[in-house]
Amino acid sequence: MEWNSWLGLLPFGIDIVVRIATGIRVIYRRDKVTSSLSWLILLVFVPFFSWIIYFLIGEPRLGRRRLASFEHLCREQRATTLDLWLSRARVEKHPDPNLGHVARLCEAVSDYPVIGGNSLLLMDSAPNVLDSLIADIDAAAHHCHLLYYIWMPAGGGLRVAKALTRAASRGVTCRVLVDAVGSRAFLASQAAAEMRRAGVRLVPALPVRAYRALLERVDLRNHRKLAVIDGRTAYCGSQNITDETYRSRRRRKTGPWIDATVRIEGPAVAAIQSVFLRDWAFDSGETVTDLDAYFPNPHTPGESAIHVVPSGPGPQPDAIHQAVISLLYAAREEIIMTTPYFVPDEALLGALVSASLRGVDVTLVLPDVLDAPIVAAAGRSFYDDLLTAGVKILHHTDGLLHAKTATIDRRLGVITSANLDIRSFWLNFELSLFIYDSDFASTLRFLQMKYITESEPITLTSWVARPAWRRFTDNAAQLLAPLL
């Protein structure tokens, strides 16, 4: 055989060798079985592109040096902030003895204790959230800290930008961290330029550059949504800096987006502050030293006890996942959950099925139309198992339900930035509030019941009767579930 024939076969030989080596790498990592099998199937049947895709997104890499830096920040910040707020805010006796084991798990995976004495306001209107946030920014005396995944460059986003510009102009320290991908349009906007000119410190989180793809996974995103004003007031939930006019670039006909946000006053604000400062130091390189100014003596305006649980690549990548699974197994009467993106792993699926089979009334409320069709199809592939076990599934038809909430036995409420999918549980930086307060849980449940009245139930009879081609496409999408 001539040399040019051998050279023609060389790329195929290299591809086979690299795919075998990548398959060995997948097996060596001992990742979740479903994820490993998906990658192995892809490596067997898709030449050339499969190992390139694995190289880009197969492992949750932040880069060795960046990951070491983040873990160091986590340890350092915990050591420097304990004396300032943890000892003064901790709840020594859990407010709900039936959920004490859940609180112990949350503390073990997050390093944050239950924090009592908080006043909460639940908001489900995008304009109201932005109006309240702008009012707090306009009243700020010392600092404004904001961290969001998406920031609209116009509309409500422009209004918040102008409020921060006013605050910075009167001497208030304003730090803003926005995800480099989710807020790409905002970072390039005139509003961002004006904020910087006024003195607002605006930093992109997890910037994406071509050379970083060689060392780290570029689709790991900072998906948190939080704001802290003067260390005394905080916001947390599913709403970005967006108003009711926001539409996804992927599917503009979906919407309006429907969210849930909590405004917090009390000692738990310090825990959210610590999450922000850690992320800020990681991406900006600035470590705040005057901690007394950012962690003022806490006041206790209310009675709600809160567990702040952050998660993401680092010391505890699956903190929220473990906490959610624990909650589902702790439920005795009722579970209601809302989420836009539903792609459960085996543990979450098993917990939901187990809860329903032991007599717990389990309800899932999901959007009827989603801006990510493949993700929606992968989620639908799990309906058979859930409906057979007695889980109630409803499709919300009045807008894109983006609120990520849960109530357990009308005793505990959850407001989070995390979806019920593998990406939120293991890849993105997320933030959840586990609220041990029956009054707040009842208020949140009332909001969930509103979502339910705007939804259409999915019955097992109608579901099994759907066209064969739909079943096939959903099941095909399920094969990609561990990769979504």
Q: What is the pLDDT of residues 20-44, one digit of tens each?
A: 777 777 776 666 666 677 777 777 7
Catalytic residue from among 145, 259, 404, 474 = 404
Distances (CA, A) of 435 to 308, 431, 441: 9, 13, 8
409 is catalytic: yes
pLDDT at 306: 92
Same fold for the pair 64-306 and 319-483: yes
pLDDT at 403: 96
Domain ranges across the chain? 3-57, 64-306, 319-483
Catalytic residue from among 223, 307, 321, 396 = 223
pTM of the model: 0.86
404 is catalytic: yes
- Domain 64-306 - what CATH class? alpha beta
Fold entry, domain 319-483 = Endonuclease; Chain A (3.30.870)
Q: Are 241 and 164 in contact, with CB atoms under 8 Å apart?
A: no
**pLDDT by residue (tens digit) across 432-480?**
999 999 999 999 999 999 999 999 999 999 998 888 888 888 877 776 6
Catalytic residue from among 31, 111, 230, 437 = 230
32 is catalytic: no
Catalytic residue from among 94, 143, 145, 225 = 225
pLDDT at 471: 84
Q: Does residue 81 have a pLDDT over 80?
A: no
pLDDT band at 136 (very low <50, low <70, confident <90, very high): very high
Q: Are 279 and 269 in contact, with CB atoms under 8 Å apart?
A: no
Distance of CA 108 to the CA centre of its chain: 19
402 is catalytic: yes
Start-to-end C-alpha separation, the chain: 45
Q: Are 288 and 281 in contact, with CB atoms under 8 Å apart?
A: yes
Catalytic residue from among 243, 409, 437, 474 = 409
**pLDDT by residue (tens digit) across 264-311?**
999 999 999 989 998 998 888 888 878 888 888 878 888 899 999 998
Query: CA torsion sign, 151 to 157 to 161 to 163?
Result: negative
